[in-house]
């Protein structure tokens, strides 16, 4: 009995020694990002997981980052999609964990593991609407854990506003008037400032800015984004064109510049993604709207998903990394240290401590959130972003506003004949012609029953004439399948 117990103890000790000294499982994390350095949040997360969390929790795993940034891959939006196509479609087992933006949840969601059961407890702390709109695939399965919220806000020059007793604008008209007043006053002192810096040429962030401007012309924050061919969209594009003419086209054609963000002497207002900044230099608020208290800000998220093609053991270890990310203390730490909004928005509700470091009121002012339309025909399609830039043909050039809208609308639709006249009257015209021919053929059968004309139809019996006419009507009726 003693030998047996000693043997069991030896086995247990040997098992623990093997765990401690065995080579860890290397999990590959694919990150597609603009910035990749040691200060990047994904780098710090992985380092903390490898050096602390995995060791404390006896996880025999380490994360290795394969980062695709503008330095080592294409900066074009199509390059982003190509990375996913290569990683998930052609090399299914190459990556275990994928970092992706919510716009791709529908397009690539089928390649990710359903996390509903793995992270059931963690998801209880997250906003259900946010998860539904940013982390679900076409079947409604939760395929991503949102780590950070990405959204544009209005940066206002604190020094200049205080100098002239002005406050951050809540409407576009107020922004135009305030910027003109301060610009004119500064000009008297021989200071030339940029009234509003809002680059529209960049294919991704520029397209988002246009989309948000259109979204800001809603009736209220509860209203959906105006349809492309709506009166609100036309009014928004006309207003945007007038702003470019009044404030200087160069401030809308330039590229984004962090120098302008922190150059408080020359920039009054700026549309830029919410990031760490000095509140004594710039204050941040929700983007203005056509009406007060209506904003165009659209929420996008950076998610982490798990490749569904990897082994169960690798999935289990990958889930541990996502659980680590979802920890409240980790979320709090990054919200305070890096000063950006995390995926768990409930952390900012009535949390005075966290709200000392980030502008929590922005989240309140944009509720309920507007989300990207990640349908594969729209922003989930890499070709849609450059096509969306076609709206600039109206903003900068002399193309008709209806033409540029129609060209973009054509890209997202598969047209069919319809009795509705929203897009074309061709369907209703063809239906009228169809009815006319149908009535004419039907009425023509009466000629075979007129005595004076019987000798004209003797080569077929009356029954055969009726059958032939009926067959013709059936063939003609197939046109209805097009309507």
Residues of 125-139 as b/e, b for ≥16 C-beta within 10 angstroms?
ebbeebbebbbbbee
Q: Are residues 268 and 402 in the same domain?
A: yes
Is residue 271 classed as helix, strand or coil in its secondary structure?
A: strand
Residue 21 has pLDDT above 50, yes or no: no
For residue 435, is it within any domain? Answer: yes
Predicted local distance difference test score (pLDDT) of residue 481: 64
Q: Are residues 161 and 130 in the same domain?
A: no
Q: Are residues 143 and 162 in the same domain?
A: no
Q: Are residues 342 and 451 in the same domain?
A: no
Q: Are residues 292 and 305 in the same domain?
A: no
For residue 416, is it within any domain? Answer: no
Cα–Cα distance for residue pair 295/298, rounded to 1 Å: 9
Q: Are residues 285 and 257 in the same domain?
A: yes
Q: Are residues 28 and 142 in the same domain?
A: yes
**Could you give the number of structural domains in the chain?**
3
pTM of the model: 0.78
Q: Structural domain of residue 387, as residue ranges? A: 152-296+383-411
Task: Give the pLDDT band (50/70/90) at residue 20.
Answer: very low
For residue 10, is it within any domain? Answer: no
Q: Are residues 290 and 320 in the same domain?
A: no
Which tokens go with 244? 């470019």
Q: Are residues 161 and 146 in the same domain?
A: no
| Surface-to-core class of residue 101, CB atoms within 10 Å of its CB (0-12 exposed, 13-18 middle, 19+ buried) | buried
Share of residues in the chain with pLDDT > 70 (%): 82
Average pLDDT of span 463-483: 76
Is residue 222 classed as helix, strand or coil in its secondary structure?
A: coil
422 or 198: which leads in pLDDT: 198
Q: Tell me if 115 sits within 8 A of 308, measured CB to CB.
A: no
For residue 99, is it within any domain? Answer: yes
Residues of 413-445 as b/e, b for ≥16 C-beta within 10 angstroms?
eeeebeeeeeeeeebeeebeebeeeeeeeeeee
478 or 166: which leads in pLDDT: 166
For residue 73, is it within any domain? Answer: yes
Q: Are residues 291 and 313 in the same domain?
A: no
Residue 245 CA, distance from chain mean position: 29
Could you tell me how many helices (H) and strands (E) the chain has, helices first? 21, 10
Predicted local distance difference test score (pLDDT) of residue 464: 80
Average pLDDT of span 232-261: 83
Q: Are residues 120 and 141 in the same domain?
A: yes
For residue 244, is it within any domain? Answer: yes
Cα–Cα distance for residue pair 228/358, rounded to 1 Å: 34
**Contact partners, residue 430, CB within 8 Å, separation at least 6:** 417, 479, 482, 483
For residue 370, is it within any domain? Answer: no
Which tokens go with 16? 């623990």
Q: Tell me if 306 sits within 8 A of 115, measured CB to CB.
A: yes
Q: Are residues 43 and 78 in the same domain?
A: yes
CATH number, domain containing residue 338? 3.40.190.10
For residue 361, is it within any domain? Answer: no
């Amino acid at each position: 009995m003693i030998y047996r117990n000693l043997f069991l103890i030896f086995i247990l000790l040997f098992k623990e020694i093997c765990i401690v000294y065995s080579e860890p499982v290397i999990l590959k994390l694919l990150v597609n990002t603009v910035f990749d350095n040691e200060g990047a949040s994904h780098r710090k997360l992985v380092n903390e997981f490898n050096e602390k969390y995995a060791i404390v929790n006896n996880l025999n795993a380490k994360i290795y980052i394969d980062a695709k940034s503008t330095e080592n891959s294409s900066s074009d939006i199509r390059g982003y999609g190509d990375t996913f196509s290569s990683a998930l479609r052609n090399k299914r087992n190459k990556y275990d964990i994928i970092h992706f933006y919510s716009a791709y949840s529908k397009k690539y969601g089928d390649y990710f593991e359903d996390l509903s059961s793995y992270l059931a407890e963690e998801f209880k702390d997250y906003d259900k609407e946010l998860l539904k709109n940013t982390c679900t695939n076409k079947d409604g399965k939760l395929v991503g854990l949102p780590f950070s919220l990405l959204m544009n806000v209005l940066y206002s020059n604190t020094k200049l506003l205080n100098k002239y007793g002005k406050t951050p604008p809540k409407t576009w008209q107020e922004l135009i008037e305030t910027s003109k007043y301060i610009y004119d006053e500064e000009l008297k002192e021989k200071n030339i400032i940029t009234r509003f810096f809002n680059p529209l040429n960049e294919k991704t962030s520029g397209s988002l800015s246009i989309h948000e401007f259109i979204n800001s012309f809603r009736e209220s924050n509860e209203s959906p984004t105006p349809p492309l061919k709506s009166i609100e969209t036309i009014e928004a594009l006309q207003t945007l064109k007038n702003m470019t003419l009044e404030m200087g086209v160069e401030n809308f054609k330039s590229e984004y510049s962090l120098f302008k963000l922190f150059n408080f002497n020359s920039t009054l207002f700026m549309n830029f993604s919410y990031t760490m900044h000095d509140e004594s230099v710039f204050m941040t608020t929700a983007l203005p709207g056509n009406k007060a208290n209506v904003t165009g800000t659209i929420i996008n998220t950076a998610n982490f998903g798990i490749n569904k093609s990897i082994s169960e053991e690798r999935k289990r270890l990958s889930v541990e990394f996502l659980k680590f990310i979802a920890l409240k203390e980790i979320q709090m730490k990054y919200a305070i240290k890096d000063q950006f909004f995390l995926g768990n928005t409930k952390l900012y509700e009535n949390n005075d401590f966290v709200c000392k470091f980030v502008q929590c009121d922005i989240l309140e002012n944009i509720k309920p959130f507007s989300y990207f339309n990640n349908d594969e025909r729209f922003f989930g399609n890499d070709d849609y972003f450059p096509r969306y830039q076609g709206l600039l043909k109206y903003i900068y050039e002399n193309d008709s506003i209806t033409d540029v809208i129609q060209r973009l609308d054509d890209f997202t639709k598969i047209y069919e004949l319809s009795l509705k006249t929203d897009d074309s009257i061709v369907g209703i015209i063809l239906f009228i012609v169809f009815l006319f021919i149908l009535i004419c053929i039907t009425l023509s059968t009466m000629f075979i029953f007129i005595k004076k004309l019987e000798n004209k139809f003797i080569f077929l019996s009356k029954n055969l004439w009726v059958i032939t006419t009926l067959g013709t009507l059936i063939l003609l009726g197939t046109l209805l399948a097009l309507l």
